[in-house]
Structure 1
Amino acid sequence: MRRAYLIEMTVLRDYARQLLGLGLFIAICLSVGMHSIVAVPGLLCMLYFIMGALSTAAYDEQNNWGLYRLTLPVSRRDVILGRYAVIVTLGISGMLVGLIGTLGLSIVVSVLNVSLDIQSLFALTQEHVMTVIFTMMFCMLMGVVVASVETPIYVRFGQTKATQWVPLITIVLFIAPFLLFGGSGLFESGAISMESLRQFFAFLETPQGLAMWCVAAIVIAALVLTLSIAVSIKLYERREL
């Protein structure tokens, strides 16, 4: 798998550098535009997971790279494992770039002669740090789910055919949970009360609740990735290129 991973990273090297530079610029612009630093690392993490799935599939069909790669001393299983390792690498890189960008902006604002209101918006207070961690884990989980659903589709049908369906699938993944939850009647039946939700979110605002949320998000993301890898390996082994 290590060899397949290094091959993929070599192919995507220039693209990854551009993506990291663009991500740093986006992080600063979003922080300034939103007057907040809390959401940027999570948004970049989610974006990079999705872009990782898209870019690895796109390069397969450029100059018949997908066919040529199979002539190299790597198995189809290793190709898939290497691809997912690249996607995870890009996702984590997006998170780190977002953190570096927001941290740098916070430091710059703190030393500039600006009003206290603006300094408080970009200050690294405990509340801001906890919110950054919560949104980062949530967006990471969303990015993993989208990438884990899209990648087997790319593996099975190729980037050209899959592109017709992936946008719709992505939209469904983001909207369907809210539609199902809202139309399930759980609130109307009293199975879930607003007071219970308030208590739950209040617990998440505590250090203990945040720690439990982080562990749960990482475990769920790992399980989703594991299932997606298994499906992709089966599909790729049966695919005729």
Structure 2
Amino acid sequence: MKTMIVSDFATLRPTLVQLVGICTVVALFMGYATGAVASGAAAVAAMTPFMLLFSLAAIDEQGGWERFRLTLPVTRRQVVFGRYATLGIIAVATIAFALALSFATLAVLSLLPAPVVPAGLAPAENPPAAIIGGVVGGVCVIMVGMAVALPLIMRFGMTKATRLVPAVVVIFLALGVGFFGEGIQPAGALADFMQWLDTGSNYLVAAALMVAAAAVIYGASALVAAKLYEQRTF
């Protein structure tokens, strides 16, 4: 598994350097456009792991690297668990980067005269709990998305999986709409939830609950993906 992780990061090294600059621009633009630092941070946290997932999957199919890798002294389960570990490390690193960028932005804004700072971007309007909750929540949502995508990629390869993943997402959305249509009022529930989040440090409580749920789903997905990858033929 360690070999797989080292290989993945060696492959992604040029992309990671470029992505730091891209994420900085996206975070600043989204923060300014939405009037909230947390929005830019959450956008960066959400897009980075998913982008790198498909980058790695695409590289696997280029030049037959995926087939060649299986000739090395690495088992299929190690390949799967190594890939999941790589993306898990990326997710944690993304959280750290997004938070560091957010608090650095707030530090710079605090040094500027008040009339110069756009409405909503003042440090007082962006509590740390909201930023942490937004970043961690964004990454957890993407981790669940990767938990759906990875087994499909491992079983069918990236080319087929890119057609299947949107279909699976649409099915889950349809099920969600059907569930809410059975009597639950989403607007009222959403309003109550947002009010609860704004109370005290509930952003942190929600983030902790999402981390626990995402970790369980991600771990279960790894076991499913390993089983599917062992059955795959090339």
TM-score, normalization by structure 2: 0.87
Q: Which residue of 2 aligns with 1:185?
A: 183
Once the two structures are TM-superposed, the CA of residue 177 in structure 1 deviates from its matched residue by 6.1
Matched, 1:150 2:149: yes
Instruction: Find the aligned partners of 1:96 and 1:208 in 2 and give their Cα distance.
Output: 19
Give the CA RMSD over aligned residues: 2.5
Q: Which residue of 1 aligns with 2:91?
A: 91
Q: Which residue of 1 aligns with 2:25?
A: 25
Superposed CA offset, 1:55-84 (max 9, x none): 221111011110111122221111111111
Instruction: Find the aligned partners of 2:53 and 2:187 in 1 and give their Cα distance.
Output: 38
Segment drifting more, 15-24 vs 177-186: 177-186
Q: Which residue of 2 aligns with 1:125?
A: 124
Once the two structures are TM-superposed, the CA of residue 220 in structure 1 deviates from its matched residue by 0.3
- Residues 1-241 of structure 1 aligned to structure 2 (within 5 Å): 1-115=1-115, 118=118, 121-125=120-124, 128-173=127-172, 175-176=173-174, 178-187=176-185, 194=188, 200-207=193-200, 209-241=202-234
Instruction: Find the aligned partners of 1:237 and 1:6 in 2 and give their Cα distance.
Output: 22
Structure 2 gap segments, 5+ residues each = none
Segment drifting more, 38-47 vs 120-129: 120-129
Structure 1 gap segments, 5+ residues each = none
Instruction: Find the aligned partners of 1:180 and 1:16 in 2 and give their Cα distance.
Output: 40
Instruction: Find the aligned partners of 1:193 and 1:9 in 2 and give their Cα distance.
Output: 43
SS state at 1:72 partner: coil
Structure 1 pair 147–73 and aligned structure 2 pair: CA distance change class (3 A): same
SS state at 1:121 partner: coil
SS state at 2:38 partner: coil
8 Å CA contact retained: 2:98, 2:135: no
Once the two structures are TM-superposed, the CA of residue 93 in structure 1 deviates from its matched residue by 2.9
Percent identity, aligned pairs only, is: 27
Instruction: Find the aligned partners of 2:103 and 2:187 in 1 and give their Cα distance.
Output: 38
Once the two structures are TM-superposed, the CA of residue 212 in structure 1 deviates from its matched residue by 2.8
Once the two structures are TM-superposed, the CA of residue 198 in structure 1 deviates from its matched residue by 5.5
SS state at 1:8 partner: helix
Structure 1 pair 65–182 and aligned structure 2 pair: CA distance change class (3 A): same
Instruction: Find the aligned partners of 2:104 and 2:170 in 1 and give their Cα distance.
Output: 33
AA in 2 matched with 1:10: A
Instruction: Find the aligned partners of 1:128 and 1:193 in 2 and give their Cα distance.
Output: 25
Structure 1 pair 102–209 and aligned structure 2 pair: CA distance change class (3 A): closer
State the aligned residue count: 234
TM-score, normalization by structure 1: 0.84
Segment drifting more, 2-11 vs 13-22: 13-22
8 Å CA contact retained: 2:29, 2:40: no
Structure 1 pair 167–69 and aligned structure 2 pair: CA distance change class (3 A): same
8 Å CA contact retained: 2:46, 2:142: yes
AA in 1 matched with 2:68: Y
Instruction: Find the aligned partners of 1:126 and 1:31 in 2 and give their Cα distance.
Output: 12
Once the two structures are TM-superposed, the CA of residue 37 in structure 1 deviates from its matched residue by 0.2
8 Å CA contact retained: 2:106, 2:123: yes
Once the two structures are TM-superposed, the CA of residue 41 in structure 1 deviates from its matched residue by 2.0
Structure 1 pair 209–24 and aligned structure 2 pair: CA distance change class (3 A): same
